[in-house]
Structure 1
């Protein structure tokens, strides 16, 4: 299959609940030499556009609405002429960055995005935020989890609009049911696999109490 996954790391800030933190984000480019989708074009629209090169961007897919993931999405999308997709449950986070506007398209659970003969299937995985979505690419043996599942455990749930029992349930029901060899490409940090993370579910639950 000619479809490939490219990772770009960008740097910037994340702000919520009155605090601001320096962060590095993973930007994922999925496609072939002609056409791609871009997942979470964070921090630097020009840098992401340069990585895409002359390829057509079919869609900008946002795993959730935190500002480090979306603040430069409109700029990037306008540069490449692509629609921005976000789950509607994160509209309030979107409006914190883009008041009185909406993304170009809502993401729904089970929605499929075709790219180069491969499909990315949207899995609604709330908890880190109400509208958090993971994108499963079965043909590529990969799931893009945003900030829902990292190497070593769930994403943070200590801020507004997040909930620990919800994220654990999302991981248990939607992610750990995927094949154990599935690569987990995350919103921040190193990749992992479903098989590496699944044995630690009870540890995460115990830590969360």
Structure 2
């Protein structure tokens, strides 16, 4: 009888001036990891990686609003990990300086993404899969770790709420379709790590989300 593979290492913590949830997911055997939405506080992110003994293989972004990638350049410099983003959010990535100015956040140049994410693409480690879920932004992504019953939802789905659609490229009908057709079809026990605030579960949102019910 073979032993089951140990659970992935997962830690989520708020970073940056807008308290974006950054998530580190690592393989406990290979020690390879991905950093999702490094939205600030690069020293904290690096200390978390070091505490778990993990090596960042990729910096993965749910979308390109400033609060989700403010530390990306610094983390890339420290780890060499490439930056991943959906191409439809490149216009937002290119407008970082404007976004920072609007929110009164210091501007630090960040290099262009190294790789473009696509729908149903396997992530570099930990058996995660990218899901294109536009609506909050045209290139918004969620990341599904089926074996762990885990979804990193970015700003697409929140506990009892959804992502804003009044910012650049947002569209309510599009986010509604993404949530109904992609997210609400997942296992109801799936834990949802949101872009800001507390976790939730798919089943809870299907039944209790007042904006988009299943």
TM exceeds 0.5?
yes
Query: Does the Cα contact within 8 Å between 2:72 and 2:110 map onto a contact in 1?
Result: no
Matches within 5 A, 1:45-194: 45-53=42-50, 54-97=53-96, 102-115=112-125, 118-194=126-202
Structure-2 residue corresponding to 1:204: 211
Deviation at 1:168, TM superposition (A): 0.8
Question: Which consecutive segments of 4 or more residues in structure 1 shift more than 6 A?
Answer: none
User: What is the TM-score normalised by the length of structure 2?
Assistant: 0.85
SS at match of 1:177: coil
Q: Following the alignment from structure 1 to structure 2, what is the Cα–Cα distance between the partners of residues 67 and 38?
A: 16
Q: Is the 8 A contact 2:58 2:124 kept in 1?
A: no
- Measured after TM superposition, the shift of residue 144 of structure 1 is 0.3
User: Cα RMSD between the aligned structures?
Assistant: 1.9
Superposition TM-score, scaled by structure 1 size: 0.87
Equivalent pairs, count: 193
Does residue 32 of the first structure (1) align with residue 27 of the second (2)?
Answer: yes
Question: Using the alignment, how far apart are the partners of 2:46 and 2:131 within structure 1?
Answer: 26
The match for 1:4 among 9, 21, 32 is: 9
8 Å CA contact retained: 1:65, 1:93: yes
Counterpart residue number, 2:105? none
| 2: CA distance, partners of 1:130 / 1:197 | 22
What do the CA deviations read for 1:180-205 (whole angstroms, capped 9, x no partner)? 0000001100000000001246x415
**Runs (5+) with no aligned partner, structure 2:** 1-5, 98-108
Q: Which runs of 5+ in 1 are unaligned?
A: 13-22
1:20 aligns to what? none
Contact 2:183 2:202 in 1 (8 A): yes
Query: How far is 1:2 from its partner?
Result: 3.9
Identify the structure with the greater strand proportion.
Answer: 1
